[in-house]
Structure 1
Amino acid sequence: MSLPEILIPALFLASFAGMTYIVLKALGAGAEAYASEYMTDASRQFEDMFLFIPPHRISQIAWGSSAVCFTLFFLVTGNLTTIAGIMRGTLFGVITAVTALFTPSWLLKLLKSQRLNRFNEQLVDSLVSMSNALKAGFSITQAFDSIVKESLNPISQEFSVMLQQIRLGVRFEDALVNLETRVGSDDLTLMIRSIEIARITGGNLTEVFERLAETIRERMRIEGRIRSLTAQGRLQGLVVGFMPILLGVAMFFVYPDVMRKFFSEPIALVIIGLVAILELIGALLIRKIIRIDI
């Protein structure tokens, strides 16, 4: 191997390392701010979901996996001997790095959403049980305590925290507000407002809970009906979103020489960028069409 064949890749690598260093230094303040905000938000959400995981561990995993994904995809898809190869490797590396960086926060939101759905499903039966407990002569706090003893997580955890706050001297109304803030459920908000109004006006909580349970159950039935009717639209969105990616991967295996030649041209990056923009627009339009608020 001649000296120019060794120097050219080395110079490209040194130039890329220098640009990477400059970019990282420029983004350092932003990265620190994002990490601080992420750890604060993650810590609060972990506490709300009773997950005792150090947030800084999640942040370290996110940044570490992002760096690994960037390096791996840059080396696999890039080519240090050409400008187009460097741009191609950088493009795929940045896409995978950003995806890896935000994946933990997406998973955290998914876990919180699933926990909220379980809470709402349990709330309907809990309202009926609390109504029966009130008919039997229990107080409102005793009715909450019966739910803690008889129900599963997460509703038993949330009601247990509320009762512990009351035992420590927190006012009943303030404990309800803390519960509402911690859970973030619209159905729970309806229940709490019903309790507050009934305590002020002297209404019959047993009837209120029964009607509220019927209302929430009917709303959940309608939501399930809407999900079944819009399932085809969601499936079409997934097909439209992933089909270009799957076809591109298949073309790499079927016609590797053609695809390598295609990605060696700078125009390929422009085409990929336009396809990504159109895919995003299509996904947003499909989401807007199938999204129905009740």
Structure 2
Amino acid sequence: MLTGQTLLYFIYVLAAASVILAAEAFYMSFAGRRARVGIINRRLQRLGEEAPAEESLQGLLQERGLTASGDFIFGAVSLNRLYTQSGITGNPLAFAIVFVLAGLVMALLLALLFGFSVLTATVTFLLIAFALPLLVLRRARNKRIQKFAAQLPDALDMIVRSLRAGHPTTVAIGLVAREMADPLGTEFGIVSDEISFGLSLEQAIRKLSERVGFEGLHLLSVSLSIQAKTGGNLTEILSNLASVLRERRKLRLKIRALSAEGRMSAWIISLFPLLMFGILTLIAPSYYGDVWDSPILMPVFLIFGLWALLGDFIMYRMVNFDF
């Protein structure tokens, strides 16, 4: 009887210990997740890994397709600049190889399994291997620039307040790097590190403008260059620049709102024929009869496809403004 009761107590102890350990594991997992979420930008995450500051800077540059000095790695500067400004991290060659392999696999599937012609398979390969990555990079770059443009006025205001409090410029930029989220936080962190390792403020901001591709940074670079050569009140310059950038963004958003109807019309006009073609093909496969065997089918498709693309381009130019 004593043995059974002792065994029962032992089971109770094990159950209690299991509950305690499970609760502790859950808490540690939750706390670790919250700590990772609390790291607001990529640079702080790398610094949190206890890597030296110089090694962290080199890693941030290399994962963006740049050398340790901040220059482009490849001779194809325009492509390297597009990859860097997109914000995608990793080896650029690995990024390109993924799309080439995907295009090759899709072309082989179309040619061998589905019986498509060699021309169709070749065009599919070219589109996936070369056109699609460019579209992905351009879209990622545009989204990143828009996010950066929304953050920059607040960052300039933070620098202005720090300068008025008596801090030097490098400390003010370091404050932005600690307090702002990506993409601006990491980019200004790179600027802060580059200044610490010997670059001037004008050179670091010029490299920042090349990495991001935002026109507002060009204004900032020019303003700092003029201020360094001729003097002037830096806080007043940055404060006015923040106001200008905010007004430009407000105007851009207003134009986008006013042109929303035109953009939606372009999408509907462009996609409606394709949608109807797909619906008719599904519900009535014999609707088009023997038209597929006609020799003029492909030329007609090509002509009207190019005509539709021309219309899309005209509507795109009508609803996009440069100012």
Question: Would you call these one fold, judging by a TM-score over 0.5?
Answer: yes
CA contact (8 A) 1:69 1:96 kept: yes
Once the two structures are TM-superposed, the CA of residue 91 in structure 1 deviates from its matched residue by: 6.0
Once the two structures are TM-superposed, the CA of residue 129 in structure 1 deviates from its matched residue by: 0.9
Cα distance in structure 1, aligned partners of 2:313 and 2:164:
49
Once the two structures are TM-superposed, the CA of residue 73 in structure 1 deviates from its matched residue by: 4.1
List aligned pairs for 1:153-192, cutoff 5 A: 153-192=182-221
List aligned pairs for 1:184-223, cutoff 5 A: 184-223=213-252
Does residue 225 in structure 1 map to residue 232 in structure 2? no
Cα distance in structure 1, aligned partners of 2:322 and 2:89:
34
What CA RMSD, in Å, does the superposition of the two structures yield over aligned residues?
2.5
Cα distance in structure 2, aligned partners of 1:248 and 1:118:
38
| Runs of 5+ consecutive residues of structure 2 not aligned to the other structure | 1-73
Once the two structures are TM-superposed, the CA of residue 52 in structure 1 deviates from its matched residue by: 3.5
Partner of 2:96: 59
TM-superposition CA deviations, 1:249-280 (whole Å, max 9, x none):
11211321233622222221122111111111
Larger displacement relative to structure 2 (258-267 or 113-122): 258-267
Letter in 2 for 1:223: R
Rate the CA distance shift 1:269–1:237 in 2: closer, same or farther, 3 A: same
Does residue 143 in structure 1 map to residue 180 in structure 2? no
Cα distance in structure 1, aligned partners of 2:188 and 2:109:
47
Rate the CA distance shift 1:266–1:90 in 2: closer, same or farther, 3 A: farther
Q: Identity, % of aligned pairs? A: 25
More helix by share: 1
List aligned pairs for 1:241-260, cutoff 5 A: 241-259=270-288
**Match for residue 271 of structure 1 among 300, 311, 316:** 300
TM-superposition CA deviations, 1:223-264 (whole Å, max 9, x none):
111001111111111112212211221121132123362222
Cα distance in structure 1, aligned partners of 2:125 and 2:301:
17
TM-superposition CA deviations, 1:197-221 (whole Å, max 9, x none):
2222221111111211111111111
TM-superposition CA deviations, 1:69-94 (whole Å, max 9, x none):
3344456875xxxxxxx6xx456545
Does residue 97 in structure 1 map to residue 130 in structure 2? no
Cα distance in structure 1, aligned partners of 2:318 and 2:182:
35
CA contact (8 A) 1:240 1:279 kept: no
Partner of 1:292: 321
- TM-score by length of structure 2 reads 0.69
Once the two structures are TM-superposed, the CA of residue 124 in structure 1 deviates from its matched residue by: 0.5
Rate the CA distance shift 1:93–1:249 in 2: closer, same or farther, 3 A: farther
- TM-score by length of structure 1 reads 0.76
Partner of 2:269: 240
Q: What is the count of residue pairs matched by the alignment? A: 249
